[in-house]
Structure 1
Amino acid sequence: MKPSLLVLIPLGDDSRARIAASFDLHYAPTHEARTAAVGTHGAAIRAVLTNGTTGLTSAEIDAMPALEFVSALGAGYENIAVDHARARGIVLANGAGTNDDCVADHAMALLLAVVRDVPQRDRATREGIWRDALPMRPSVSGKRLGVIGLGNIGRKVARRAEGFDIEIGYHNRNARDGVAWRYFDDVREIARWSDYLVVATPGGPSTHHLIDRDVLEALGRQGFLVNVSRGSVVDTDALAHALGNGVIAGAGLDVYEGEPRPPQALLHLPNVVLTPHVAGTSPEAIGASVDNFITNATRHFAGEDVLTPI
């Protein structure tokens, strides 16, 4: 008999079919379906697939007495009740490394788009406005980029930026061994040094509003912010004030507080580029994430260690 699996996140038909080949799949990607599935099938569920945004609560874990394996599809797991799961002896895994390239690519796309003002110039071209009527935009190359969070994604962003002859600095909880890039132990100091600040740190209480009004003021009038981590890391009200009052030059956000509802305070501002939390999604990245989940879950139910434990 195949293990019963509860899937709490949207998946395409192909991904669901691949997972269903190995598991008795209960698909519940909406709040209503989730509540119904836990209530109806909770006693039989042995595994859950979720993500960092959707999470899994302590109460839901308690409603699934047979639960023994929980996985986040991507790297993030901030809304999974990790401590509660561990206290139950539940094995935890994530999709670390499966979409790093995709996220790093998107971070550079947001940076290029906001610095070069691509969305506004696309709109101007469609309206028949020629370049002479538009203000010039700065070059991207030859500047300084500060990476907040030098994990796998942060490193890949930095390496991509080096291709633009950009000088790299980084802020992390601790300096990384064997890393030649300049280390800053203070977020405001790296913001003050940077022309571009790319946020790639995990979400959760320890990084809540890490990018606040003081950091944005330190980044300054010529500075640009990009966030591909979690919306909670950036104080939305402080960012709206900074963008609307010339405190910083612009921002590119793939994530924001209050998802999936768009950030109303930012929608009217011309110096922000917004995408709907898609940095980690591509056919290649989703395929790799699903493969990683199937491998981890199969290993667990075969009595083997998972490859990407939390």
Structure 2
Amino acid sequence: MSKPPVVMISHEMLAPIQAGLEAQGYKVVRRWDMTPNEGAEAQAIVHAGEIVLTPEFLAFLPELKLIANVSVGYDGVDVAWCRARDIEVTHAEGLNAEDVADHAVGLLIASWRDIVRGDQMVRSGGWTMADRMGARPGLKGRKVGVMGLGFIGEAVASRVEAFGMQVSWWGPRPKPDARWPRAESLKALAADSDILVVACRADASNRKAVNAEIIEAVGPRGLIVNVARGSIIDEDALVAALKEGRLGRAALDVFAQEPTPASRWAGVPGTVLTPHSAGTTVDSLPLMIGQCFENLRRFFAGEPLMSPVPD
């Protein structure tokens, strides 16, 4: 009898899918409690793409030939390093874009209209009739800049357009078929936007691209929403700008460090924060896991992979 294929789960958050992998006939090893010998057997890794897999760690896995990301993002994997060593990398291609866009718009509305603060006011007994006169601007006619017009960015743009908002975008590559105008630069996009939504794929080229200059271009009346990756924003600069009033608001689902320390945000005004939950729904998660499993099946069957990451 031939030995079952050996698949490593890279992080404890993925432990719930172990039973499903074993039901498919794989021998599962878990990175957080495996022995060196078990690691040496691993032929594939099931991974959450935001978590870093260092080349130093991967170099000790001589049988490894596939990293199958359950997530859409794969910024924790050095794809070029892997492919130079005949290790393929796959991801969940566009499967949760609608859910992430819904969450982005939810953050946008919650922040812009002070919904979270209003909830806290009511629950704490701090509501007075005078509070109704401290009005916020509405959404219709506001300018939304979208950083990254991929699956998520397009879905965000379509949603906010339905609210009567004006949309523009910026990304490093033009898209001639895009429905919305492309700004000349990220700074130009930020300066012309009431709300900047970060929805791009994270990679080495855009680490801390939303820096102090971009943050200040959005300005003291503006809002930054991030549903991409924490690495894209200079978080220290963001916190400082919020505390000093140089940025009006921030609504974040992703952070430089995850879980982000509660102390990091103590006393930081104008924030709505969620725990990297935008892309995880009971609708999208099974699809993402299913695509990961299909990539594994195809890999071990010698078939073309379903969703390799782009070059």
Q: TM-score, normalised by structure 1?
A: 0.92
1:28-67 alignment runs, 5 A limit: 28=30, 33-34=31-32, 36-37=33-34, 39-67=36-64
- Give the equivalent residue in structure 2 for 1:71: 68
Match of 1:88 among 85, 88, 101: 85
Q: Deviations over 1:22-41 (max 9, x none)?
A: 1424353xxxx53x426231
Q: Using a 3 Å threshold, how does the CA distance of structure 1 residues 66 and 205 change in structure 2: closer, same or farther?
A: same
- Cα deviation for residue 249 of structure 1 reads 1.6
Match of 1:133 among 131, 134, 144: 131
1:11-26 alignment runs, 5 A limit: 11=14, 13=16, 15-26=17-28
Partner Cα distance (2:261, 2:101) in 1? 22
Q: Deviations over 1:179-232 (max 9, x none)?
A: 120101311100111111000112232111111111111112221100011111
Amino acid at match of 2:14: L
SS of residue paired to 2:141? coil
- Give the equivalent residue in structure 1 for 2:115: 118
**CA RMSD across the alignment:** 1.7
1:145-224 alignment runs, 5 A limit: 145-224=144-223
Task: Give the gaps of 5 or more residues in structure 1.
Answer: none
SS of residue paired to 1:283? coil
Task: Give the gaps of 5 or more residues in structure 2.
Answer: none
SS of residue paired to 1:70? strand
Amino acid at match of 2:21: I
Match of 2:5 among 3, 6, 9: 3
Amino acid at match of 1:171: W
Q: Using a 3 Å threshold, how does the CA distance of structure 1 residues 175 and 25 change in structure 2: closer, same or farther?
A: same
Partner Cα distance (1:158, 1:77) in 2? 23
Contact residue 46 and residue 68 of structure 1 kept, 8 A: yes
Percent same amino acid at aligned positions?
A: 32
Contact residue 29 and residue 38 of structure 2 kept, 8 A: no
Partner Cα distance (2:197, 2:129) in 1? 29
- Give the equivalent residue in structure 1 for 2:234: 235
Contact residue 172 and residue 185 of structure 1 kept, 8 A: no
Partner Cα distance (1:37, 1:81) in 2? 23
1:276-291 alignment runs, 5 A limit: 276-291=275-290
Q: Using a 3 Å threshold, how does the CA distance of structure 1 residues 169 and 25 change in structure 2: closer, same or farther?
A: farther
1:224-303 alignment runs, 5 A limit: 224-262=223-261, 264-303=263-302
- Cα deviation for residue 297 of structure 1 reads 1.1
Contact residue 146 and residue 191 of structure 1 kept, 8 A: yes
My pick for the range that moved more, 255-264 or 179-188, is: 255-264
Q: TM-score, normalised by structure 2?
A: 0.92
Q: Deviations over 1:37-63 (max 9, x none)?
A: 262312211110112221322122221
Amino acid at match of 1:151: G
